[in-house]
Amino acid sequence: MKYPLLVPTMPTVAQLQPYLQKIDDNRWYTNFGPLNSELEARLGQALQVKEQGLSITSVAECTAGLELALQAHGLPVGARVLTPSLTFVATGTAIVRSGYTPVFADVDPAAWILTPAVAEAALATTHFDAVMPVSTFGAEQDVQGWAEFARKHGKPVIIDAAGSFGNQRVCPGVTVVFSLHATKSLGAGEGGAVIGTHAVVDRIRRLANFGIEVSTGLVDEAGTNAKLSEYHAAVGLASMDMWESIKSARRVLRTRYLAALRSADLPIQLQALPENGVYPTFPVALAEGINSHWVIEKLTAAGIGTRRWYCPPLHEHKAFAAYDCAGDLPVTASLGKRIVGIPFHLHLLDGAVDEIVELFGRILASAGQAD
């Protein structure tokens, strides 16, 4: 593949070495070690966690963070959680595996995310007990709007902010879960972080250690093993050292793409996003009537990596087909047939963006000839 879809930007051996030496010196390898604490502090500083009276805890990966955040909010078994159907499968599996019931919602036609306004509209026809909106493709969720929604309706809000570190803000009244997967803008290989109230985060931290109350050794509530190892914390810290340069490079890459796409005037729709954001992917929605399967086949043949995100939407997967939808999902139905990802990573050499857009344009120009 000449231009793969995603190539992670991760620390080199040399960048990791000082942190690995700390592990050797400390002889502490997991169970909330000193590197774990250092990573939490640096992530918390970037997100202004303390300034807002919130807490942060690391987790082994984002999906575990979502599951534990749901559990920590004390929802009854079977509670109905409103979530977008246009999202990665982990959002749905986290709800189901936690003993809750997903209720699939539509998304805003411009931003491609479940917004407080969409949730308000769903309330008119659909019962749900909590909401799990998603920062889809790195889009920032309106935390202040969600905090007001939670306060007004008494429904917990847990934001699946997996791919939006660098964009997604936090605030009291909302729990936010980030991913540190290698494919994200800030990567630790695997890992995640949860930000919320002191009570919620303390409970998540205990649940991530099997539910053990350290002072007594007793388990009042069954948890799991979702602790971040010191080795993953080391990678996360080395990535944090690179963060300013990563942010700048990703912004420059997106600016190049936007300029090339606007110049080419292709039959596509872009997600409504702030242009100065830090995004892990670059999805586009093909114009109605263009066969996305055919386009992806041609892109692949031309050496351009791509993927249909998130197609089909969750409510069309066998694992989730039996769960309710909050009415019809017309925006999701449309986007679910049209979104494709194009290569977006910091290993694209000069000229790559122009070549990708030119090839993409040629393929789209001939898309009308597809069966």
Question: Residue 334: inside a domain, yes or no?
Answer: yes
Q: What is the pLDDT, as a whole number, of residue 369?
A: 53
Residues in the chain: 371
In this structure, the answer to whether residues 230 and 339 fall within a common structural domain is no
Question: Residue 255: inside a domain, yes or no?
Answer: yes
Question: Residue 158: inside a domain, yes or no?
Answer: yes
Where are the strands (E) in 13-172, listed by range? 55-59, 80-84, 101-105, 130-131, 158-160
Domain boundary among 237, 263, 288: 237
Q: What's the predicted TM-score (pTM) here?
A: 0.97
For the stretch 294-319, pLDDT in tens is: 999 999 999 999 999 999 999 999 99
Question: Residue 319: inside a domain, yes or no?
Answer: yes
In this structure, the answer to whether residues 132 and 93 fall within a common structural domain is yes
Report the pLDDT averaged over residues 219-241: 98
In this structure, the answer to whether residues 190 and 249 fall within a common structural domain is no
Angle at 228 between CA 224 and CA 233, to 5 degrees: 175
Q: Across-strand partners of 56?
A: 195
Domain boundary among 202, 237, 272: 237
For the stretch 49-80, pLDDT in tens is: 999 999 999 999 999 999 999 999 999 999 99
Token representation of residue 50: 């303390």
Question: Residue 147: inside a domain, yes or no?
Answer: yes
Domain boundary among 237, 252, 277: 237
The amino acid present at 305, given as its one-letter code, is G
DSSP state of 32: S
For the stretch 74-92, pLDDT in tens is: 999 999 999 999 999 999 9
In this structure, the answer to whether residues 168 and 232 fall within a common structural domain is yes
In this structure, the answer to whether residues 228 and 271 fall within a common structural domain is no
In this structure, the answer to whether residues 79 and 108 fall within a common structural domain is yes
Give the distance, in angstroms, between the CA of residue 196 and the centroid of all CA atoms in the same chain: 17
In this structure, the answer to whether residues 84 and 190 fall within a common structural domain is yes
Report the pLDDT averaged over residues 272-277: 94
List phi, psi (to 5°) of 86: -85, 85
CATH (domain of 314)? 3.90.1150.10
**What residues make up the domain containing 288?**
243-369
In this structure, the answer to whether residues 208 and 260 fall within a common structural domain is no
CATH (domain of 130)? 3.40.640.10
Q: What is the spatial distance between Cα 203 and Cα 305, in angstroms, rounded to a whole number?
A: 41
Question: Residue 5: inside a domain, yes or no?
Answer: no
SS3 (DSSP) at 270: strand
Question: Residue 266: inside a domain, yes or no?
Answer: yes
Report the pLDDT averaged over residues 184-207: 98
In this structure, the answer to whether residues 221 and 260 fall within a common structural domain is no
Question: Residue 126: inside a domain, yes or no?
Answer: yes
Angle at 5 between CA 87 and CA 266, to 5 degrees: 85
SS3 (DSSP) at 261: helix
In this structure, the answer to whether residues 166 and 51 fall within a common structural domain is yes
Q: Which of 75, 72, 69, 108 is nearest to 91 (CA)?
A: 69
Residue 286: which H helix or E strand, with range?
A: strand 283-286
User: Number of structural domains, the chain?
Assistant: 2
Round the CA-based radius of gyration of the chain to a whole number and report it: 21
In this structure, the answer to whether residues 207 and 352 fall within a common structural domain is no
In this structure, the answer to whether residues 225 and 350 fall within a common structural domain is no
